[in-house]
Amino acid sequence: PSSSDVMAAATSYTYTIQFSGVAFEFPIPAHYRDLYGRKGSVELPFELPDGTVPLAQRVYVHAGLDVHAATPPPLALHGHPARRLAFEPVEVRLNSRVSASAEGGGEVAGRASLYFSESNAVVKLGDSAQDVMGTLGAPAGVFYKQDAAQPYLGSLQDTSGLNYFYNYPSRGLDVLFDGESHRATKFILHTNFPGHHTFGQYERCNFSLVLPPPSNSAASTAAAAAAAEERARAA
């Protein structure tokens, strides 16, 4: 290790072993604090006098050489090419919905969308597979959504009509397409949550929700009811 340190808190004592970019924290048992609980005292051994071995209780992964002086590394500046490849801010604009037409064409009203702020790109519900690929590039993979009522399909030639996903793991994004119209019907944004079955497979999507303005329908309904009541009284 590059250094070691003993830190005493109001209710606990810990011993920290420092490496470059990572530090391990060990507890000091209460009955050995007189031996090891003072900064500059004898270093904590691999084995305590009673034969027990100290066990790490916390691990710090950080930038720099000292965990106590570590600060978050700066992100690339706005507009820098590296910023576009990692953690690009994405606005989820929830201003509409998609309704399927009788022909399966995915008729769209208003079209909810994703806005990628660094690359100034937009993809919308109802966009064709070609439009999405033209905006986001070729997907890393294509996954066909198997219908539970259908038997297993063993070849790509048997996938006509099946809904399918374009997978963009570097963006933390999947796009679902209707298998008949080949238009986007759903966006899946991944947060890379520890413990989830996809943890580590996707980058975290840096998204925020942009909600539509509140509807005035309630106020309009109340005004119409008041007007009707007034007319009834006049009659």
The tokens for 222 are 């109340």
Residue range 140-154, pLDDT digits in tens: 999 998 765 554 444
Terminal-residue alpha carbon distance, the chain? 92
Torsion of CA 164, 170, 173, 178, to 10 degrees: -20
DSSP track, 177-217: E-TTT-BEEEEEE----TTSTTTTTSPPP-EEEEPPPPP-H
Give the list of residues 6+ apart from residue 153 with CB closer than 8 angstroms, or none: 144, 146, 159, 162
CA 30 remoteness from chain centre:
41
Question: So what's the pLDDT on residue 232?
Answer: 62
CA 228 remoteness from chain centre:
50
Pick the more confident residue, 140 or 50.
Answer: 140
Q: Give yes or no for residue 18 having a pLDDT over 80.
A: yes
| Cβ(179)–Cβ(153) below 8 Å | no
The least confident of 50-64, 67-81, 167-181, 195-209 is 67-81
Residue 113's pLDDT band (cuts 50, 70, 90):
very high
Question: So what's the pLDDT on residue 106?
Answer: 41
Question: So what's the pLDDT on residue 97?
Answer: 46
The least confident of 45-49, 54-58, 165-169, 180-184 is 45-49
The tokens for 121 are 């790109």
The tokens for 199 are 């943890």
Question: So what's the pLDDT on residue 224?
Answer: 64
CA distances from 48 to 17, 53, 175 (A): 16, 6, 56
CA distances from 80 to 67, 75, 77, 119, 200 (A): 29, 10, 5, 10, 25
Pick the more confident residue, 146 or 112.
Answer: 112
Name the residue with tokens 């953690």: 87
Torsion of CA 36, 39, 41, 45, to 10 degrees: 50
Specify the DSSP class assigned to residue 183: B
Question: So what's the pLDDT on residue 234?
Answer: 61
Task: Name the E strands within the chain.
Answer: 3-8, 13-19, 22-27, 58-61, 90-93, 97-98, 108-109, 113-116, 121-124, 141-144, 164-168, 173-177, 184-189, 207-210
Residue 157's pLDDT band (cuts 50, 70, 90):
low
| pTM reported for the whole predicted model | 0.52
Q: Give yes or no for residue 44 having a pLDDT over 90.
A: no
| Cβ(164)–Cβ(177) below 8 Å | yes
